Amino acid sequence: MPVCFDIGGTNIRSGWPDQDGIVQIADQRATPGDSLEAFLVTLEAMVQGAPIAQQDFVAISITGFVNPKTGELTIANIPYLKNTNLTELLEARVKVPVVVANDADCLALAEAHAGVAKGESNVFAIILGTGVGGGLVLNGNLVTGFGGISGEWGHGPIVDPTAGGLVDHMGYFHCGCGQQGCLDTVGAARGMENVHRALSGTTLEAENILRDWRSGDSMAAKTVEACSEMVARTLSVFINTLGPGSVPVGGGLANAQDYIAKIDTKVRTMVLSHYNRPLVVQAQHVSNAGLVGAAFLRPRSTAGTR
Ligand SMILES: [Zn+2]
C-alpha cells in the first residue's frame, strides 16, 4: 500500500487508501518556506508516521511538472525544488520506491479510476482554480507528455478578446508563461477578475462576481457570459480532439456548479459528438484529488504502468 502525498506551496498533506481505494487527508503540515533539507525531513517524518503495516511505495502529487526522462521538476511555487529530482532525493531517505506526478494528472487518475469518470476510457480532467490546467487519461492510461507537459490547455495564445463578439475588444492579458491571449488569463478565477476589470472598470474577486451574477447584476452577467464562452470555445477543440467520455472539473471554481453547468451547456452545442447528458461536471474528489490520484501511480521499479 502506498503512502500518498499532495504537495502544494502552502501545505503538505498525506494519507493512504481505505478499503475502497479512496485516500482521505490524514496528516497535514506547512510546506517549509526556504529549505530543501527541512522539506525532506518533513516528508520523511510523515512517511514514518503513517500507521500502515506495509509501506510499498511513496506516491506524490505536486504542483509542478516531472520530466519523465530525467525525473527533474519544473515548479514555480516551491523554489528550492526547482530542477531537483525529488524521486531520488526521497528514495535515499525512505528506502522504498517513490513516484512523483503533476497534480492535474493526479486529478485525472482520481476521477478516471474512482470518481465521476469511472468506467470511461478517455478522460480530460480540467482544473478551473486560480488558473487553468488539465490532465489526460487515454485508453485508461495517464498521458505524461513530452517534458512532463500534457493536458495543459490553459496556455497558448488563442483567446478571442471579444469572446466571439459577445463583448467589445477587451485587449490581452499577460500570462505567467510569458505569452498573451492564453485561456489561463481569462478562464478561471484570476481570469474572471481580469475580464471583469476590463469590461466594468471595477475590481472584484471571482466569488463576488459569481455572487453578483446570481443576484441578477447585469455587469457580472456580462463577465460570466464572456468567460464561460471563452472556456467553452477552447474546450470544444480539446473535446473533439481527445474524445473524452467525461470532463471532470477540479479547482476552486468547481464548487460553482451553476457556472460549470453553463460551460457544459455551451460546449455541448459546439462539439461534433452528441452527448445527451452532462459532459463537463464537478469532480467527485476536489480537496483530496491529489491524494486519491496519487494512489493510482506506480513507481518505475514495480510492476504496472504509470
Ligand atoms: Zn500562458
Ligand 1 centroid – CA 185 distance (Å)? 7
Q: Are residues 140 and 254 in the same domain?
A: yes
127 with 7, same domain?
no
What is the value of pTM for the model shown? 0.94
Q: What are phi and psi of 261, to 5 degrees?
A: -65, -35
Q: What SS3 state is found at 60?
A: strand
- Same domain for 45 and 194, yes or no, is no
- Ligand 1 center from residue 180 Cα (angstroms): 7
CA of 156 to the centre of ligand 1 (A): 6
Q: What is the CATH number of the domain that holds 85?
A: 3.30.420.40
What nine digits make up the cell of 269? Answer: 452545442
- Which residue reads 474577486 in cell numbers? 205
Ligand 1 centroid from CA 227, angstroms: 16
Residues 147 and 39 reside in one and the same domain: no
161 and 269 housed in the same domain: yes
In this predicted model, what pLDDT tens digit does every residue of 192-244 receive, in sequence order?
999 999 999 999 999 999 999 999 999 999 999 999 999 999 999 999 999 99
Length of the chain: 306
Cα–ligand 1 centroid distance for 131 (angstroms): 10
Q: What is the DSSP string of 192-205?
A: HHHHHHHHHS----
Q: How far is the CA of 17 from the centre of ligand 1 (A)?
A: 35
Q: How far is it, in rounded angstroms, from Cα 184 to Cα 234? A: 11
Tell how far the Cα of 127 is from the centroid of ligand 1, in angstroms.
Answer: 14
Looking at the fold, whether 144 and 263 belong to one and the same domain comes out as: yes
Is residue 47 situated within a structural domain? yes
85-126: pLDDT as tens digits: 999 999 999 999 999 999 999 999 999 999 999 999 999 999
Could you tell me the distance, in angstroms and rounded to a whole number, from the CA of residue 172 to the centre of ligand 1? 12
